[in-house]
Chains A and B, each alone.
Chain A
């Protein structure tokens, strides 16, 4: 079983995140960058499948030099090797363009399963499985809270409002995972040491046969025109409960004509 896991480096969702006013792209250089949390669940799931069925787990990322840290994290959890697509022409690419680059990189790899997080915490789009499915012509099994691989079939429980859909497809397939699917392992000391020696192949757009004139900010199919911070909320009312907290609260709701 050959499994490719897609990981993305993102600005930590718990820290202050910004757009860069120079070109309205995500300010990555100054951010506190981490591996997209949701991708850790995909890595864990890949390792679980590999442990049960054998095979190899390859990490794939498209991102700047600093994204090496996200790769190392995945390798230290137990992935075998990595491919890092890095090229200055990629700066400012939108999801549609990034999917073309990921698809080109995947076409140079062998895979039965492509795993990824159900959403990147910076863009929160949750569209990569659909984009890659469309480009590669292989099925999307997205938003999984459970994955089973049996022979040449992958089955998932796709998380929905108040339940799930059972969805299945033949391999090779694309699966994206929510944080309900497993509990990602922590890298062990041994894992961290071993990760330093695992192969990381760097590829440029030329290596992938992608025309640099189709990616990057200047060629994106969407454009950020401007942005602004949310206007700060006016100071609210704060009361301390001295036996009358509920009364004051209900009084406020009545004032707002809610009750």
Chain B
């Protein structure tokens, strides 16, 4: 069977959700890659990383785990990963390359495309056996089918579009020797700073997201959004208006210029539903809206809407959900 390279996206050390250091997006990419052939995982990371992630990669279908470990590949931005992948594409002539669609993943795909003279498609939500990809354009309003027509097709897979399914494979480790070019050693990562440590699930991976908008009215009042989220084991999100008003940090913004989420359940609280907000949440499976304005456009999307004051509805709902446990 044809080989398909899958770039493993890993959690920073010590943050092992979704398998020992492997991000859920990687398991999704391995699952999606199986439509095209037999996946091989590629680990490009600091020394000593692969040992902890190999089993999870094998469990989700990696017949081979290529391991390119060095302090160099970890110390420079994006370019080393693309260089390792390009080397493997040249050596193995895979049928395709699948990469999780994070900001870094998309940039790796772009560099790899130039290096290998291949077409690339970003943010795909589905890959068919013939290589046709599904993409969602224009704030989720248009569904597009596309194909790569040149070179080795490169896809970046949008998170939460595919359900990871185990398919145990050998996961045979193969070391890859890396000698980075000078060009890959230009943008040096000198520090990685975590500003918000949250015990809540990661926004893009959460199966439930509760988002607050301008209607929440203050930073303090976001505590009622957080309480509802915690009663559901959910991540917290925010609209741009809420972020711009200083109610909640930017890294939680959902929408066109924020995160794209696609959870099982999205609860929009005090959010009007502007097209740019919809862009980030429209593909959620079930959408619930709480808004005091019956004409708010978010209700057009909602499977269940409550017209009412969030300050009474949300705390009461939180209380009832907690009581059911």
Q: Which A residues contact B (CB, under 8 angstroms)? A: 13-14, 17-19, 24, 37-38, 94-96, 99, 119, 121-122, 124-127, 129-131, 133-135, 137-143, 158-170, 173, 178-180, 220-230, 233, 236-241, 245-250, 252-254, 256, 258-259
Report chain B residues within 8 Å CB of A241.
Answer: 306-309, 312-313
Query: Interface majority SS on A: helix, strand, loop or mixed?
Result: mixed
- Measured in the bound complex, the distance between the Cα atoms of B107 and A239 in whole Å is 45
Counting chain B CB atoms within 10 Å of each CB, which of A122, A158, A228, A230 scores highest?
A: A230
B114 interface hit (Cβ, 8 Å): yes
Within 8 A of A (CB), among B194-227: 194-198, 202-204, 208
CA distance A119 to B258 in the complex (A): 11
25 pairs of residues in contact across A and B, judged by CB atoms under 8 Å = A13-B256, A17-B138, A121-B256, A125-B106, A131-B111, A140-B78, A140-B187, A142-B107, A143-B103, A161-B251, A163-B193, A164-B195, A165-B77, A165-B189, A166-B191, A167-B190, A169-B187, A173-B186, A179-B257, A221-B150, A222-B146, A222-B148, A223-B147, A245-B316, A246-B313
Main secondary structure of the interface of B (DSSP, over half): mixed
Instruction: For the complex, give the distance between the alpha carbons of A237 and B288 in Å.
Output: 10
Per-residue CB contact flags for chain B residues 83-96 toward chain A (1 = under 8 Å, else 0) read 00000000000000
B82/A245 in contact, CB under 8 A: no
A255 vs B324: C-alpha distance when bound (angstroms): 13
Q: Residue on A with the closest CB to B197?
A: A162
Chain A residues near B300 (CB, 8 Å)? 233
We find that the number of chain B residues with CB closer than 8 angstroms to chain A is 92
Kindly state the separation between the CA atoms of A127 and B77 in the bound complex, as whole angstroms.
14
Assess whether A167 is in contact with B77, with CB atoms less than 8 Å apart. yes
Chain B residues near A133 (CB, 8 Å)? 79, 111
Whether B256 pairs with A94 at a CB distance below 8 angstroms is no
A95-B110, A162-B198 given; A250·B324 CB < 8 A = yes
Nearest-CB residue, chain B, relative to A248:
B306
State which of A13, A160, A179 has its C-beta within 8 Å of the C-beta of B275.
Answer: A13
Residues in B with CB closer than 8 Å to A158 are: 77
Tell me how far the C-beta of B46 lies from the nearest C-beta in chain A, rounded to whole angstroms. 14
